[in-house]
C-alpha cells in the first residue's frame, strides 16, 4: 500500500508537513489556532491527559508568541508522526527489512499510538479547544473515540459486547480483522460526509490529520494481512479461522471500494488488498525457498553430491509446504469463497525458478549441470512430485521453470563439459586395452564369435550418457549421441595405430577388433562415424590377410619343381588355410559395405593384396574365405607361369597330372570350408590341360575355354602358358593370333568390366623370360 493522497494535493509526507509547518506567509492565510481547532485528540479515553496550566505571564503574551510556542510544541509530535508514517508505508509496500511476526504486530500498535503523541501541547491547545465551535469538537471527539475507544453502535449496529471497548489498533493486534475493517469503513464514510459538508473548510490541518490517521490504520490492517500470510507456512502456522477472516476482509474491502471515486478523492479508493495478499504469498514462498541451505553455493558443496542434496532438501520443503497449503490453507480460504491453491502454486513455482537460476549461475562441471537439468526436468516436473494426482491444475499453464535462454545456456555448458569428459573416458578405455595387450589376454568367445571388452566399454559409455540426456530432452539426447559419435571417430584411428604397433597382433585379436568395429554401428550413429569405422576395419582385415600371406607364401615356392612331382607339398599350405578359416568363422557378419573406400586407406599394401582389398565388396566370413580361395589359386598360377624348372616329356605330363590333383585338392578344401567361389575351379585345370595335352590341336580348345572363363587374362599370360609347351614358332604364332582375336571379341562383346567382378589373371605379374621371348619369336 502506498501513501494516501489528500484531495488538496498533499500526496506525500512533505505535503503534510508543508501544511503543518507552514511559514508565516502561509500561516497568515490560515485561521489562527485561537479560532480553529488543531485536530482531533487521538488519545484513548482510558488515558486522560492532564492539561498544563501556563503561567500568568504567558497568558499576557501577544498572539504571535502564542503561535510560535504552539508550533514549537508541535514539532516533536509530528516528527514521531512522520517516522510512524514512513514505517507503516514501508511495511505495506514490502520495502522494509525482514521482521518477525511479533515485531510486526507490535509496530502496528506503536504506529497508532504515535498519532496520539502528535497533538498540540501547551496553552494553545487549551485555548483552541475553548474557542472551537461545539459541533466541530463533538465530531472530532466521536472520531477519536472510534479510533481509540468505543465503537459506535451506529456503525455496525449492535456489535459483540467484547468488541465495544476495543480500539481499531487493538482489534488489528488481536487479528479481529473484519471488525477493525468495519470500524475503519464507518469512520471513512463519516469523514467523507464531513468533507462533503465543508466541515473542514476552515481547518484543512484537522482533515489532513484524520485522513492520515485513517490511512495509517488501513495500512496497518494491510500489514497485518501480510504478517498473517508470512506466518501461515511457519512452524506454528495460523488458525484456519484467522485465514477465513482474512479472506472475508479482503473481499469486504473489494466490495466496499469497487472502483476509484469519480472525483478522484483518495478516500474510498480501492486498497488492492487482493494484490497485496498475492504479493505477500509470493514473498512468503520466496523466503521459504531461500531458507534452504542459505549461504551455501554449489561450488562450496561437495560437488554434484552436495548440489543434489541441496536440491533434494529444496524439493522436500516445497512438497511439504504445498501439501500443507492443499490440506490446511486452501480449505480455510475456500470456506470463505477465496481461491488460494493456484496463488500458492504459482508463488512457489516462481520462487523455485528464481532459486534454480541462482544455483545455475554458480554451477560448474558436467555433473553439477546435469544434476540441475535432471532435477528441473525429471524431479520437479514429475506428475507425482507433490505425491497426489488429485490437485487442481492452474487455469493457465505455469511458465517454464528455467527461461529458454537459461536452459539453452545450461545445455550448452553441459555439452561442452561432456565433450571433455567423454574424450577423457576414451583415453581411459585405450589405457585399459593396452594393459590387456601387455597381459596377452586372449579374446573371449561369445555365441561363437570373438569378443573384446572394448565393445562393452564403448557401448556402456555411449548408452549411459545418451540415456541420461534423453531423460532431459530429445534435443540433448541427439546432441549427446553426436558428441559420442564424434569422440568415437577420433578414438578409432588412435586405437588402430596403438594395436597394430603392439605385440598383441594375432588372428583372434584381429577378428575380435573387426567384430568390435562392426558392433560400433549402433542405431543412430551418424554418417561421420562410417569413414573411421571402414578405415579401421580395412586396416585390421589387411593385417589379417597379410598374416596369412606371410605364413603360406614360402610354401608356394616349392610348387612346380621336381621335388613337387614326388611330394605332397600342398597339404601344409591347405592346413594353414583351414586354420585361418577357423578364425573367420568367429567373425560377425557385416551390416554395411565397408570396402568401398578402402583404396585410400590401405595405401602401401603389396600389389596383389592391394587389389584384393580395394576391389572387394563387404567382407564377411564368406567373402574373406573367397578372398583366401582366390589368393591361393592366384599364387598357385603365378608360380606355375614362372617355374624355376622346365618340364619335358614325361615330367611335363606328370606335372600336368600333379596340377590336376592339386586343383582338386584346393577345390574340395575350400568347398568343405564353405567357399562359394566356384568360378575359380576352372583356372588351374585349364592350364594343366594345356601343359599335358598330347594332341596339339586340342590346345586351341583349352585356350579358348580359359579366355572365355577369365576375360581379364592378357597376351603376356597366353605367352607364358604357351612357353610351357615349346610348340614351335608357327604353331605358337597361330595360337597367339587366335587368342588375341578372342580377347578383342570378348572385350567388345562384354564391354568394360567384362570380368564381372571376378579378377584373377590381372593380378598375376608375368616377367619376360628367355623362353617367353623365344615363344614370341
Does the pLDDT at position 470 exceed 90?
yes
Match 528441473 to its residue by C-alpha cell.
Answer: 376
**Length of the chain as a residue count:** 777
How far apart CA 538 and CA 597 sit, in angstroms, is 9
Query: What average pLDDT does the chain have?
Result: 75
**pLDDT tens for each residue of 497-553:** 999 999 899 999 999 999 999 999 877 666 788 899 999 998 998 899 999 999 999
Q: Identify which of 237, 226, 219 has the alpha carbon closest to the alpha carbon of residue 84.
A: 219
Cα angle, residue 239 at apex, residues 235 and 244 outer, rounded to 5°: 130
Average pLDDT over residues 737-753: 78
pLDDT given for residue 490 in this prediction: 95
Average pLDDT over residues 34-62: 35
Q: What percent of the chain stands above pLDDT 70?
A: 70
Match 470456506 to its residue by C-alpha cell.
Answer: 335
C-alpha neighbours within 13 Å on the C-beta side of residue 428: 9
Match 614370341 to its residue by C-alpha cell.
Answer: 776
DSSP conformation class of 528: G
Who has greater pLDDT, 249 or 48?
A: 249
- Using alpha carbons, list the distances in angstroms from residue 344 to 288, 319, 333, 406, 765: 12, 12, 12, 24, 88
Does the pLDDT at position 268 exceed 90?
no
C-alpha neighbours within 13 Å on the C-beta side of residue 705: 16
pLDDT given for residue 302 in this prediction: 54
- Quick check: 587 and 448 in contact, CB under 8 A? no
Cα angle, residue 290 at apex, residues 288 and 293 outer, rounded to 5°: 110
Burial of 11 (0-12, 13-18, 19+ CB in 10 A): middle
pLDDT given for residue 561 in this prediction: 86
pLDDT given for residue 49 in this prediction: 35
Does the pLDDT at position 758 exceed 90?
no
pLDDT given for residue 646 in this prediction: 79
Question: What grid cell was written down for 269?
Answer: 479508493
**pLDDT tens for each residue of 178-201:** 999 999 999 999 998 888 888 888
pLDDT given for residue 82 in this prediction: 41
Average pLDDT over residues 131-154: 43
Average pLDDT over residues 208-223: 92
What is the residue-wise DSSP string for 290-356?
HTTTTT--TTTSSHHHHHHHHHHHHHHHHHHHHHHIIIIIHHHHHHTT---HHHHHHHHHHHHHHHH
DSSP conformation class of 378: I
How far apart CA 522 and CA 510 sit, in angstroms, is 20
Question: What grid cell was written down for 640?
Answer: 606355375
Who has greater pLDDT, 261 or 548?
A: 548
Measured in degrees and rounded to the nearest 5, phi and psi for residue 449 equal -125, 150
Domains and CATH numbers, the chain: 168-271 (no CATH), 282-293+305-386+398-402 (no CATH), 403-536 (1.10.357.50), 558-590+612-750+758-776 (1.10.357.70)
Confidence of residue 142 (pLDDT cuts 50, 70, 90): very low
Cα angle, residue 278 at apex, residues 322 and 321 outer, rounded to 5°: 15
**pLDDT tens for each residue of 86-125:** 444 444 444 333 444 443 443 444 334 433 333 333 333 3
**pLDDT tens for each residue of 291-329:** 887 544 444 445 678 899 999 999 999 999 999 999 999
- Quick check: 544 and 499 in contact, CB under 8 A? no
Match 501544511 to its residue by C-alpha cell.
Answer: 19
Average pLDDT over residues 572-601: 73
**pLDDT tens for each residue of 405-459:** 999 999 999 999 999 999 999 999 999 999 999 998 899 999 899 999 999 999 9
Who has greater pLDDT, 649 or 313?
A: 313
pLDDT given for residue 772 in this prediction: 53
142-146, 246-250, 513-517: lowest mean pLDDT where?
142-146
- Quick check: 93 and 12 in contact, CB under 8 A? no
Q: What percent of the chain stands above pLDDT 90?
A: 41
Confidence of residue 753 (pLDDT cuts 50, 70, 90): low
pLDDT given for residue 156 in this prediction: 36
Average pLDDT over residues 694-698: 83
DSSP conformation class of 446: E
Average pLDDT over residues 46-73: 36
340-344, 362-366, 493-497: lowest mean pLDDT where?
362-366
pLDDT given for residue 751 in this prediction: 58
Amino acid at each position: 500500500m502506498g501513501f494516501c493522497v489528500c484531495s488538496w494535493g498533499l500526496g506525500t509526507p512533505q505535503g503534510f508537513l508543508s501544511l503543518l509547518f507552514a511559514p508565516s506567509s502561509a500561516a497568515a492565510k490560515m485561521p489562527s489556532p485561537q479560532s480553529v481547532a488543531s485536530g482531533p485528540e487521538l488519545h484513548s479515553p482510558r488515558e486522560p491527559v492532564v492539561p498544563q496550566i501556563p503561567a500568568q505571564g504567558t497568558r499576557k503574551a501577544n498572539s504571535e508568541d502564542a503561535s510560535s510556542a504552539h508550533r514549537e510544541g508541535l514539532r516533536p509530535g509530528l516528527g514521531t508522526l512522520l517516522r510512524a508514517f514512513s514505517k507503516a508505508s514501508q511495511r505495506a509496500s514490502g520495502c522494509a527489512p525482514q521482521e518477525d511476526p511479533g515485531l510486526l504486530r507490535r509496530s502496528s500498535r506503536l504506529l497508532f499510538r504515535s498519532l496520539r503523541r502528535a497533538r498540540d501541547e501547551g496553552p494553545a491547545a487549551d485555548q483552541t479547544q475553548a474557542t472551537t465551535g461545539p459541533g466541530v469538537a463533538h465530531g472530532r471527539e466521536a472520531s477519536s473515540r472510534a479510533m481509540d475507544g468505543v465503537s459506535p453502535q451506529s456503525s455496525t449496529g449492535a456489535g459483540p459486547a467484547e468488541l465495544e471497548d476495543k480500539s481499531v489498533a487493538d482489534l488489528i493486534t488481536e487479528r479481529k480483522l473484519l471488525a477493525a475493517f468495519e470500524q475503519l469503513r464507518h469512520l471513512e464514510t463519516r469523514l467523507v460526509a464531513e468533507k462533503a459538508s465543508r466541515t473542514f473548510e476552515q481547518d484543512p490541518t484537522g482533515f489532513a490529520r484524520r485522513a492520515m490517521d485513517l490511512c495509517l490504520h488501513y495500512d496497518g490492517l494491510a500489514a497485518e494481512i501480510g504478517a498473517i500470510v508470512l506466518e501461515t507456512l511457519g512452524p506454528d502456522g495460523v488458525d484456519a479461522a484467522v485465514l477465513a477472516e482474512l479472506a472475508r476482509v479482503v473481499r469486504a474491502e473489494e466490495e466496499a471500494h469497487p472502483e476509484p471515486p469519480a472525483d478522484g478523492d483518495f478516500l474510498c479508493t480501492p486498497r488492492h488488498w487482493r494484490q497485496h495478499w498475492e504479493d505477500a504469498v509470493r514473498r512468503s514462498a520466496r523466503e521459504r525457498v531461500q531458507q534452504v541451505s542459505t549461504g551455501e553455493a554449489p561450488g562450496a558443496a561437495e560437488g554434484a553430491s552436495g548440489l543434489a542434496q541441496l536440491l533434494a532438501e529444496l524439493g522436500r520443503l516445497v512438497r511439504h509446504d504445498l501439501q500443507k497449503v492443499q490440506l490446511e490453507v486452501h480449505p480455510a480460504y475456500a470456506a470463505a469463497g477465496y481461491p488460494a491453491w493456484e496463488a500458492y502454486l504459482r508463488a512457489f513455482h516462481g520462487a523455485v525458478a528464481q532459486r534454480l537460476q541462482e544455483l545455475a549461475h554458480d554451477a560448474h562441471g558436467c555433473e553439477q549441470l546435469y544434476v540441475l537439468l535432471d532435477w528441473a526436468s525429471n524431479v520437479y516436473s514429475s506428475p507425482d512430485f507433490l505425491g497426489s494426482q488429485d490437485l487442481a491444475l492452474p487455469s493457465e499453464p505455469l511458465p517454464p521453470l528455467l527461461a529458454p535462454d537459461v536452459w539453452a545456456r545450461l545445455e550448452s555448458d553441459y555439452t561442452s563439459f561432456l565433450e571433455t569428459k567423454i574424450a577423457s573416458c576414451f583415453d581411459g578405455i585405450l589405457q585399459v586395452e593396452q594393459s590387456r595387450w601387455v597381459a596377452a589376454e586372449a579374446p573371449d568367445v561369445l555365441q561363437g564369435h570373438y569378443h573384446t571388452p572394448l565393445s562393452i566399454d564403448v557401448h556402456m559409455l555411449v548408452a549411459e550418457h545418451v540415456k541420461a540426456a534423453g531423460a532431459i530432452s530429445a534435443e540433448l539426447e541427439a546432441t549427446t549421441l553426436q558428441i559420442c559419435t564424434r569422440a568415437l571417430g577420433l578414438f578409432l584411428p588412435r586405437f588402430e595405430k596403438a594395436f597394430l604397433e603392439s605385440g598383441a597382433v594375432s588372428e583372434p585379436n584381429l577378428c575380435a577388433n573387426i567384430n568390435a568395429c562392426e558392433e560400433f554401428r549402433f542405431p543412430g550413429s551418424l554418417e561421420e562415424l562410417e569413414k573411421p569405422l571402414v578405415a579401421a576395419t580395412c586396416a585390421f582385415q589387411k593385417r589379417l590377410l597379410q598374416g596369412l600371406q606371410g605364413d603360406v607364401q614360402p610354401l608356394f615356392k616349392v610348387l612346380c619343381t621336381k621335388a613337387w612331382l614326388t611330394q605332397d607339398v600342398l597339404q601344409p599350405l591347405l592346413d594353414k588355410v583351414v586354420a585361418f578359416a577357423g578364425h573367420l568363422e568367429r567373425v560377425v557378419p557385416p551390416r554395411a559395405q565397408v570396402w568401398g573406400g578402402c583404396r585410400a586407406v590401405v595405401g602401401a599394401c603389396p600389389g596383389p593384396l592391394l587389389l584384393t582389398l580395394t576391389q572387394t565388396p563387404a567382407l564377411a566370413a564368406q567373402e574373406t574365405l573367397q578372398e583366401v580361395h582366390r589368393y591361393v589359386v592366384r599364387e598357385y598360377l603365378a608360380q606355375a607361369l614362372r617355374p624355376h624348372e622346365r618340364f619335358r616329356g614325361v615330367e611335363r605330363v606328370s606335372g600336368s597330372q600333379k596340377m590336376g590333383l592339386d586343383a582338386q585338392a584346393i577345390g574340395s578344401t575350400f568347398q568343405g570350408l564353405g567357399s562359394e567361389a566356384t568360378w575359380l575351379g576352372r583356372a588351374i585345370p585349364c592350364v594343366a590341360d594345356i601343359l599335358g595335352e598330347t594332341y596339339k590341336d586340342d590346345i586351341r580348345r583349352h585356350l579358348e575355354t580359359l579366355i572365355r572363363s577369365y576375360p581379364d587374362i592378357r597376351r603376356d599370360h597366353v605367352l607364358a602358358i604357351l612357353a610351357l609347351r615349346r610348340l614351335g614358332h608357327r604353331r605358337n604364332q597361330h595360337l597367339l593370333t587366335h587368342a588375341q582375336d578372342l580377347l578383342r571379341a570378348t572385350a567388345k562383346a562384354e564391354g568394360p568390366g567384362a570380368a564381372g567382378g571376378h579378377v584373377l589373371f590381372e593380378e598375376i605379374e608375368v616377367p619376360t623370360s628367355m623362353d617367353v621371348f623365344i615363344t614370341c619369336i
